[in-house]
Amino acid sequence: MKRNVLIIGAGGVAHVVAHKCAQNNVQLGDIHIASRTLSKCQAIIESVHEKGSLRKPGLLQAHQLDAMDVEATKFLIRATRSQIVINVGSPFLNMSVLQACIETGAAYMDTAIHEDPAKVCEAPPWYANYEWKRRQACKEARVTAVLGVGFDPGVVNAYARYAIDSYFDSVDSIDIIDVNAGSHGRYFATNFDPEINFREFVSTVWSWENNSWKANQMFEHRKEWDLPVTGKSTTYLTGHDELHSMSQNLGVPNIRFWMGFGDHYINVFTVLKNLGLLSEQPVRTARGQEVVPLEVVKAVLPDPASLAPGYTGKTCIGDLVKGSKDGQAREVLIYNVCDHEESFAEVGSQAISYTAGVPAVAAALLIANGTWDVGGMVNVEELDPAPFIALMNRMGLVTRARHDGQDYVVDPQQQVVERSSTDKVVNSR
């Protein structure tokens, strides 16, 4: 059993993580929030109190921390007696925070792959360039490290594992589809850290095709999907963290990631990019100041967390899995729909932050009760998806499946019962 959580970062996702930890503080214990800007941590704590999110009276504390400083992070982990660290700061922090966990024995979680500020759109193998180099160290220290446990990466990895195990004899392709059909009413904004958002798309994007990596240009491949609730949606092939780990762990020959973009986003993105304003390389101004254009663009765009009030519409994110079962071709969409306004009413956040934050806290609960406390480094598709999906169903992110003319809530615990009594899982559907 592990208790006491240290949340790193105080942005949009951390806001949701803090609320959800508070709702589950009976199991999780003390909650600490640490970030570069103390006032942002304090604002989250105020919001938790305002919404009455604490399940029972308990400790909720803010701390100023530069999480690039491993010694300072180790000190805070020990001082707060935190046994679980949820890293939802910038992805530049991953390796420092992970190191602090390895040296203190705390369990580690994040929601995005590590990034080097000086590099964009690195070529695969992404996890092998950074996190997986510490696998042995985690194993030797018996430290649980669950990588990429937001929605994508995270839940979509669990969906892939679940679909493969429950619906198919063999799988040929997984298309991860991420559509935000919401509206924030601003001229232009990104739904999470603009710097990280743009860095995903400014150069070559990668897909896993016929068991090897294929390089594509951004916005080169476009596809329309007819999704539940959000309806007809235009998406573009992009690279994404989970493609790498899933390509290595699942044995599926084709794995692609499709993200929805409106024409307006593409126009603004194209102008910024062509002007050189999305560059991660420093430039010198006429006054002799050195600035990184991408950091300047981030500074002038709305803070993603500020989009939440008045955000309307829904997200639909899921995996379209194709393969065969009992000699017949089969296609299953396993997905979640999340509502911006409902997320705001519950925790004061928009749905992108909500869908990333809830899975991280579900994972923390599974580590706390031992179910996912594996004592080593794993990506989400390596873990049993059933307790994760079942828990999220009760925490605000409901999983559904659509196939063969049916559309229903996936209840893995129910299916586990069916499995033991009939030895058949999905045929009963």
Q: For residue 401, count CB atoms less than 10 angstroms from its CB and return exposed for 0-12, middle for 13-18, buried for 19 or more.
A: buried
Binding segment for ligand NDP among 32-40, 131-139, 210-218, 279-287 (CB under 6 A)?
32-40
By CB under 6 A, name the one of 5, 6, 13, 297 that touches ligand NDP. Answer: 13
44 makes contact with ligand NDP (CB under 6 A): no
Residues 231-250 as x/- pattern, contact with ligand NDP by CB under 6 A: --------------------
Residues 337-356 as x/- pattern, contact with ligand NDP by CB under 6 A: ---------------xx--x
35 makes contact with ligand NDP (CB under 6 A): yes
* Residue bearing tokens 């992070």: 73
Is residue 242 classed as helix, strand or coil in its secondary structure? helix
Separation of alpha carbons 132 and 125, rounded Å? 10
CB of 136 to ligand NDP, least distance (A): 25
CB of 243 to ligand NDP, least distance (A): 13
Within 74-113, which residues bind ligand NDP (CB under 6 A)? 88-91, 93, 111-112
CB of 155 to ligand NDP, least distance (A): 8
Nearest to 214 by CA among 250, 177, 239: 239
Whether cis (ω within 30° of 0) applies to the bond prior to 309 is no
Through-space distance between the first and last CA atoms of the chain, rounded to whole angstroms: 36
Within 293-312, which residues bind ligand NDP (CB under 6 A)? 304-305
Q: Are 8 and 78 in contact (CB under 8 A)?
A: no
CB of 151 to ligand NDP, least distance (A): 4
Whether cis (ω within 30° of 0) applies to the bond prior to 385 is no
Separation of alpha carbons 334 and 320, rounded Å? 7
Tell me the residue nearest to ligand NDP as measured from the CB: 11
By CB under 6 A, name the one of 3, 27, 30, 36 that touches ligand NDP. Answer: 36
Beta pairing, strands 222-227 & 231-238: antiparallel
**Region of 105 on the Ramachandran plot (φ > 0 left; ψ -120 to 50 alpha; else beta):** left
Residue 155 backbone dihedrals phi, psi, to 5 degrees: -60, -40
By CB under 6 A, name the one of 1, 37, 140, 186 that touches ligand NDP. Answer: 37
Q: Which is nearer to ligand NDP, 152 or 280 (CB)?
A: 152
* Beta-sheet strands, E only, within 128-218: 145-147, 170-180, 205-209, 212-216
Judged by the rule CB under 6 A, the positions of this chain that interact with ligand NDP are: 9-14, 35-37, 40, 65-68, 88-91, 93, 111-112, 150-154, 192-193, 196, 304-305, 352-353, 356
